[in-house]
Amino acid sequence: MYPARLQRLRAALAQAKFDCVAAIAGPNLYYLTGLSFHLSERPTTGFFPLSGDPVIVAGSLEESKVAGGAPYAVRGCYYTDAGGPVTAYREAAQALRLSARGGGLARLGVESRRMRVMELRLIEEAFLNPRIEAAEGVFAVLRMTKDEQELALMRKAVDIAERAVQATIATIRVGQTEREIAAELVVQTLRAGSDTELPFAPIVASGPNSALPHAAVTDRAIQRGDLLTLDWGAAHGGYFSDLTRTYAIGEIDSELKTIYELVKAANAAALRASRPGVSAAEVDAAARQVIAAGGYGEYFVHRVGHGLGLEGHEDPSMHGQNETPLEPGMTYTIEPGIYLPGKGGVRIEDDVVVTTRGAENLGRLAHDLTVIGG
């Protein structure tokens, strides 16, 4: 699997006219090597040239991991805490012997959204200021389309998350605080089998707080008549799930029921619109049209979804200006919402994969309004 990914990377580098690409500790390096490194004060960088063996710069504590776990031939350049990483990055530059095709400066692609100034300065000094350019598009080409092994891990992450929320909502009672519910959801997610490094801290938003798409957990106690939004995820084998459900705490008023049904219909419309050849923008529009027709268009304040996989947010971005055509294997969220300031909000989020004929919801949680709270 990993040698095949390396070959696909080289094809993408040739297409984009890069001579080499660098990936720091994180999802891209993990995707290409299967090696997991923590992002810390000890920089780790993998260099993947158009030809020749990749080079990994890492602290000496990681030497056995690289030497024993690399899935293909790599050269390791290691450093100690006392010596620092400068010499190791220089050794990497010498090993790679980068030279541009046709002369001139080599083009070195980097993760401009992830790379820190620390790694950038080390690379600039070691490689004598090559042409450093953003290479997000190269990584996106590789990672947007998932294979069956990746999809199996994502399905498991969704299953873990669903079992966790079902166990959690069974414990929710009027008077509990958002913070208490969030703690229970984390415990249940780990108990259900999630990797210990969760995709993100869960959002638990009740009453008027549910009108905040990215609400912070508070000590507010839930009350009858509230909407309660739970946005959470699990991880399995490094791959993430990201789900949202909104529940009713007892009887809710008619407007809150109305917006719930609109969001439910918008979610279904976006799933129906998802198929090969359709653009991300068209999926966003399908959901947005339902909510606008219901009279609440101004209260749908974010894109319909985002790519999902080794990161909670990755390509493709499912917004109204993204004309990227969908392809089988692309995975993303569908999460329309309506948010009424001071009153409450609804979001229903699923994780989906594009198939040859349409799209498949990776989960099984119901979309109907569920009343909880004892």
- Count other Cβ atoms within 10 Å, centred on residue 140: 17
Q: What are phi and psi of 246, to 5 degrees?
A: -115, 130
How large is the greatest C-alpha to C-alpha distance in the chain, in angstroms? 72
Looking at 102, 120, 143, the residue that finishes a domain is 143
One domain, residues 129 and 170 = no
Mean of the per-residue pLDDT values of the chain: 95
Which pairing describes strands 45-49 and 55-59: parallel, antiparallel, or unpaired?
antiparallel
Residue 308's nearest CA partner among 358, 231, 367, 235 is 235
Looking at 143, 177, 209, the residue that finishes a domain is 143
The alpha-helical segments, DSSP class H, found in the chain are 2-16, 27-33, 63-69, 86-96, 117-126, 136-143, 148-169, 178-191, 254-273, 280-293
Indicate the DSSP class of residue 97.
T
Is 50 exceeded by the pLDDT of residue 249? yes
C-beta contacts of 209-216 below 8 A and 24+ residues apart: 209/178, 210/246, 210/339, 210/344, 210/345, 210/346, 211/339, 211/340, 211/341, 211/342, 211/343, 211/344, 211/345, 212/339, 212/345, 213/301, 213/302, 213/337, 213/339, 213/345, 213/347
What CATH number is associated with residue 285?
A: 3.90.230.10
Number of folded domains in the chain?
2
Per the structure, the complete domain to which residue 89 belongs is given by: 2-143
Q: What is the mean pLDDT of residues 111-136?
A: 91
One domain, residues 170 and 265 = yes
- Of 100-109, 131-140, 212-221, 311-320, least confident by mean pLDDT is 100-109
One domain, residues 204 and 318 = yes
What CATH number is associated with residue 51?
A: 3.40.350.10
One domain, residues 198 and 59 = no
- Residues 177-232 have pLDDT tens digits of 999 999 999 999 999 999 999 999 999 999 999 999 999 999 999 999 999 999 99
pLDDT band at residue 97 using 50, 70 and 90 as cut-offs:
confident
Distance of CA 132 to the CA centre of its chain: 25
One domain, residues 87 and 137 = yes
Looking at 108, 143, 178, the residue that finishes a domain is 143
One domain, residues 60 and 156 = no
pLDDT band at residue 103 using 50, 70 and 90 as cut-offs:
very low
Q: What is the mean pLDDT of residues 305-322?
A: 97
One domain, residues 354 and 306 = yes
Is 60 exceeded by the pLDDT of residue 106? yes
